[in-house]
Structure formats: structure tokens, C-alpha cells
Structure 1
């Protein structure tokens, strides 16, 4: 009997304690608006950063001084105060968000199509006497991606960096395969369009396929400091970033020709081109198949500049192997490689001139909303570049239609 009384006493006690806890409305350690998060701030020349950080108790994690952009760890309360008190010294404040390679790749082709399409890369574009002379030699191309497998026997990687590794930033090995595939389209000895171009790995995208805006900006900053001629960015996001746009604008001003895929969002009644391709100073590339038809997955919008092969593409893969892949990520490096050929033929050509050459030598195929200015024609573009070299001409300004 005493045993049952004891059990009843224990149960009653627990019940009373539970009621007390519920009524007392305890405060649990939940996230609040004052918990610090990573932000990007753009600052003007008028800002004295040392005094600014001291007065506002702000920790600058990274400072991209060439770009006037800093990555900071601040609370939402601090964000409000900065917007109120420093509006004359700060150009923007935004959360450090993410872009991804997933929006522009990883669409596997069918085996039946593989057998037919495998010759599309090298044979179509390199079986021409022009490419025995102009192979991208002396042109530096940054591949901002998941890194590159620099052990691949068909690739000659000159160097690189790894913004994803914030401690050292030296291990730019690719463990995913995306960056290696892109690099192969550009400059592999067997299948590349510009086999003698100097390729550099910029590992701004993690092994999961995502990259923070700060990592991408850090990669762009590296490209500027190391004097890249061309930057291929096979990444995409639907979110706008002022910091990313300003970094790209700076790179463009420094003479870097920037190429990016339009994304794999398929057809829509309204534009679904992703950033960074949507930016004014990025050459936006969509995907077509072997027949020149827009790939079903390729995004649409008036921001598209040109189309290039992006379906059932054969290129380098991990572990010294090769593979087939589809996606607008595969189309973008065709244009980057073509730009390298033009640069090797005409080293003094400007970004605006390259854009004009591509646009005016594209093969018109369909309406602009789906095909941009047409399909990339490397041979015609290269010949046009040589003509411009021999007889300089005043080029018209090509105005890209874009919305931010």
C-alpha cells in the first residue's frame, strides 16, 4: 500500500511542477533580431573605417578595399542605426546571401543522344585553320566555380585560389566535378575551344554547390588583383546583390570580360534569367542543342545576349575521366573560350568590342526573348576580330536590355 501511495505522490508532484512551469512563462534562448549576422556593406571614400568600427562596435571580418566592400558581423539593431547615421558614407547594406551552380547545370543527357553529340565540341570548332593560329595563348581565364581537378592530364591549370577556405585559400581542388567540366570546355587539350589559354581556378563555390556572395566577391577581387582577362561564372541566383553587381562593375572597368549562364528555369511568360547573368556588364549565355533549338531548360528573357551549345556536352571530369553534361553552365564557357580566341588574335580589343563582335556575328535563329541576339558563331566572330585589328573601326555601343 505504501508503494502505491509513493507512486501517486510522485505523479502528483510532477504534475504540480509542470503547471507551475507553464504558468511562469519561461524565456528560452531563441534567436532574436539582435543576434549578429553576416552582412555586406559598401562604403565610400569619405568613411574612416577605423573610427567607424570603433564607434559602432562593428567587427569587419573581411575588407575588399579595392572594391570598397566589407563583410561584417552585426545585429539587425546595428543595421538600422547604420542606415540612419551613415547614409552619406555607405552605399548599401545587405545580408550575405548565396548563389549556386545548381541553377545552371546537372541536367543529365540520355545515352542515346550521347553517341551522336560527342563530336560537337572539338570537331565543330577546331577543324579550321584559324584555330591553328589563334588558340587562346597568353590569355588568362578565371573559372569561378567549385575548383578544378588540377591532376587531370588533359588540363593545364596555371594556379588559383579558394575563397571558400577563409583560413588559407590555397586548396582549389574540385571534389564535385562542375568546375573541372567547365574548365575542360574552355581549354582541355582534346575538347577545349582555347587549349592554350591560361586557366586559373577560383573556388568560390563549396563542395555542396553553393557559394556566399562574399566568397564570390572575394573571388572577383582576386581576379582583378591577378589581372584575369576573362572570368567565367557558371553560377546563378534569383536574388539581387548590390555588392555583387558593384564587384562585377569594377572588374569590367578593369578590362575583365565576364560571362555567365542565364539559368535553367525553362520557359516562362516573364523573364527568369538569373544573376549574375542579369547584370548589365555580364555577357549572358543560354543553351541550344545540336540543331540550334533552345534547350527546354534554358531560361528566357530580354537580358540574354547569345546562345551556345549546352546540351549533351562532352568534357573533362574527376579522376582523369570524361563525362557528358547538360545545362546553361556548359554553354557559358563556350563564349568565355571564344572570347579568349578573340583576345589572342587581337590583344587590345576592349570588352565593349568583344560584345559587339559576338552580337553582330551571332546566327539569328528565333525571337530575342528566347535566343537573345542569336547563336554563337566563333568562326565569324574571330574573322571579324581580325578585320577590326587590321582596320580599326568605331563600334556602335551595344545596349543590353536589363532590369535590376
Structure 2
């Protein structure tokens, strides 16, 4: 999901469209025996217990699949905050991947909902008063959410002592425009998260969604302390829409046939012709990695964000950096340093080596054979005469 790069000013909030709803599904997820065995192995090592994961998104609706959702800041309706209202479905779907009871990677993690953006709200900008003091009207601005509110949301997560911050909402700019953009506020917030011990995980962006294209600079995935996550098409292929972002390529499965419905239960997506379709995107790959970091944070509570990132990078598969949570949790960090060995030089002993002795023996033997041959030839000649 994309958000605006620039900040509106002097805006008041007005709703613009009804909230999104999924297509209710009577049946929940049906895990195969292999999937159940995988989850049992994974959660025998860690479940995310005691780890707070901040979800900076469209809000997180309370759901029977989500054990704990703490209310955070609301930058959509700050006057009447509703961080538990997810009008877009997006934040609730993301949270189900992180901490859903049946499908979540870290089912015992605590969620902290920060509502930072929405496509179902617009800000109304009043125009300057006309002569005589009467208002000249106004205009609807772009969707809620911008880099300023994103920075403020990160700071709210830091204040709440979140150990992991998942950001599946992004802003994109062409690289030449990005060079001229002042990101001081966002960069300062990312630094504050690092110093507070929080790992920031962000979607790398979808080239198929509005406002983003391959080659764009993606915020906050641009940050060198951010784990930027793309989406895979299958086990071996990066999805065509997935923008490569960040210093190191990382990716995860970003396709979901069934998701949490903010209204309760489960939901699927439908095409206009009524056929089922999957939820897909880097938005849903990022929480896979965020939840994996939550498991690592529980397993290694004393490690810094840099150390936890190093574990993720070392577990990433070659090429597109695919992250398997179980592989990351059972990864044994490689030791690339070899202890220095003391070198001692000594003079060789002044004794003849066996090689010259053998050579001498061979020369003597050859001379002996030659002497015998000459003597035999001399005897033959004497006999003939």
C-alpha cells in the first residue's frame, strides 16, 4: 500500500467512502500434515511470547485470532482516535500473518496498532477566505498518511517499547526526485528506533500499484537499518511486481488465499467475474520477516537490532534472499574469522640428505657396470685372436 510523500497542512478529516469488506469464508485455513509439522517445529523453538510488534498500517481490528492488540496512535482521526478500526482490511491482514492463532508465525507476540494511513479517508483543505471573510470552499487532498506521520508513527512505536516495527505502507519517488527530498524527520525516527533496540521491517513496494515503479526510491525501505522485503512468486522466483529495495535483497512469500476478516472470521478476495483470487504483494511478505524477527528476539533477548538483522541476512537464500522462518531460527551463524597462527622459522640441520646419497650410489653402480662391460668386451676380443 502506498502513502503520500508530502504533508498536507491545516486539514480536517472527512470520510470519503465506505469501509472495505472481504468476502466471508465459512471455512478457516486447512493446514496439510506437512504444514502442521512445520509449525510445531517452529513453535517448539519460539512463539514470540513477550515481544511487542508495532504494526504501522491502516489499523488493526480486534479479532478472535489475535490474542493481544494494544491501541497506539491514530494519525487518521487524531481528535477521536480509533486505532482498532481498520477501514481498509490491510492492517488486520498483516497482523494475522504476524500473530494469528492458526496462521501466524509468532502467535504469542503482542501487537501494537498504529493507524497511519487509509484509502477510505480524505483530508479536506479549506481554501483561503474570500474578500469579506467568507470561505471560498476547499478541496479533497490525497489519501491520508505521509512521511511526517510515518516518522511520528515510528516514534510512537519506540515510545511503546516495541521490539519489532512492521511497516507495510510505503512511499515511492523516482530516484532523481528522491535526491532532492528532505527525509531528515524519517531518518531521525529510524535512528531512534535503532538506538531503542527495535528492528524495522518494511515492504519493498509493488510496481503494479499506484505511484510505484521499478527503480523508484521506496520509503522507509531506503534506510540502511531497515529490512526491506520483496515478495516471491514461488519458491524460486521473485514476483515481477516486487521492487528491489534496500542494501541487501530479502524476500518472503507474499501470497495469501485466506485472510483475517476485520468483521470477524475469515475472508477471501473475489475478481469482478466472481472467481477467487489471492491477496498478494510485498505488504504481506514484510510481516513474514517481521514475525521471524520477533521469534529471534524471544530466542536471543540480549541481541541488538544489528545482530538480529545479521541472523536474517545469514539465513537468506542466494539470489533473491528468500527467508524461511524455521531456517532462520535454526541457523548457526558462520564464523568467518580464523585465529592467527604463530609461525616459527628454523634453520635446517647441516646433514647430507638422502637424495645425494642415492645419486652417488647410482653413479657408482653405473660405473661398475660400464667397467664390467668393457672387461667382457676385452675378453671376447682376446678369445678371437
Shared topology, TM-score over 0.5?
yes
Structure 1 residue 246: Cα displacement: 1.6
Partner of 1:252: 194
Partner of 2:282: 328
Distance in 1 (CA, whole Å) between partners of 2:246 and 2:86 is 34
1:101-155 C-alpha deviation (Å, 9 max, x unpaired): xxxxx9x9xxxxxx9x9759x92784342413410000000000000111x2111
Within 5 Å, which residues of 2 pair with 1:84-95? none
1:235 aligns with 2:169: yes
1:25-49 C-alpha deviation (Å, 9 max, x unpaired): xxxxxxxxxxxxxx98xxxxxxxxx
Distance in 2 (CA, whole Å) between partners of 1:377 and 1:279 is 23
Distance in 2 (CA, whole Å) between partners of 1:344 and 1:313 is 29
Partner of 2:207: 265
Distance in 1 (CA, whole Å) between partners of 2:36 and 2:234 is 11
Judged with a 3 Å threshold, the aligned counterparts in structure 2 of structure 1 residues 343 and 142 are, in CA distance, closer, same or farther, namely: same
Residues 125 and 378 in structure 1, CA contact (< 8 A), matched pair in contact too? no
Partner of 1:148: 60
Within 5 Å, which residues of 2 pair with 1:29-178? 119=31, 123=35, 126-150=38-62, 152-161=63-72, 162-178=74-90
> SS of the residue aligned with 1:238?
strand
Distance in 2 (CA, whole Å) between partners of 1:254 and 1:313 is 36
Residues 164 and 199 in structure 2, CA contact (< 8 A), matched pair in contact too? yes
Distance in 2 (CA, whole Å) between partners of 1:119 and 1:290 is 18
Structure 1 residue 321: Cα displacement: 2.9
Partner of 1:287: 231
Partner of 2:118: 206
Distance in 2 (CA, whole Å) between partners of 1:265 and 1:72 is 29
More relative contact order, 1 or 2 (CA 8 Å, 6+ apart): 2
Partner of 1:193: 105
Distance in 2 (CA, whole Å) between partners of 1:169 and 1:246 is 25
Judged with a 3 Å threshold, the aligned counterparts in structure 2 of structure 1 residues 287 and 273 are, in CA distance, closer, same or farther, namely: farther
Partner of 1:10: none
Judged with a 3 Å threshold, the aligned counterparts in structure 2 of structure 1 residues 269 and 149 are, in CA distance, closer, same or farther, namely: closer
Question: Aligned match of 2:324 in 357, 377, 382?
Answer: 377
Distance in 2 (CA, whole Å) between partners of 1:312 and 1:169 is 30
> SS of the residue aligned with 2:234?
coil
Structure 1 residue 158: Cα displacement: 3.0
Distance in 1 (CA, whole Å) between partners of 2:100 and 2:94 is 10
> SS of the residue aligned with 2:238?
coil
Partner of 2:156: 222
Distance in 2 (CA, whole Å) between partners of 1:181 and 1:355 is 24
> SS of the residue aligned with 1:179?
helix
Judged with a 3 Å threshold, the aligned counterparts in structure 2 of structure 1 residues 326 and 314 are, in CA distance, closer, same or farther, namely: same
Distance in 2 (CA, whole Å) between partners of 1:347 and 1:127 is 22
> SS of the residue aligned with 1:160?
strand
Normalized against structure 2, the TM-score is what? Answer: 0.63
Long gaps (5+) in structure 2? 1-5, 12-19, 121-142, 174-180, 269-277, 338-385
1:342 aligns with 2:264: no
Judged with a 3 Å threshold, the aligned counterparts in structure 2 of structure 1 residues 299 and 229 are, in CA distance, closer, same or farther, namely: same
Long gaps (5+) in structure 1? 1-38, 41-70, 74-95, 97-105, 109-114, 396-404
Larger gyration radius, structure 1 or structure 2: 2
Distance in 2 (CA, whole Å) between partners of 1:199 and 1:243 is 25
Judged with a 3 Å threshold, the aligned counterparts in structure 2 of structure 1 residues 221 and 262 are, in CA distance, closer, same or farther, namely: same
Distance in 2 (CA, whole Å) between partners of 1:125 and 1:249 is 39
Residues 164 and 204 in structure 1, CA contact (< 8 A), matched pair in contact too? yes
Residues 83 and 114 in structure 2, CA contact (< 8 A), matched pair in contact too? no
Partner of 2:354: none
The CA RMSD over aligned residues, in Å, is 3.3
Moved over 4 A (4+): 117-120, 392-395
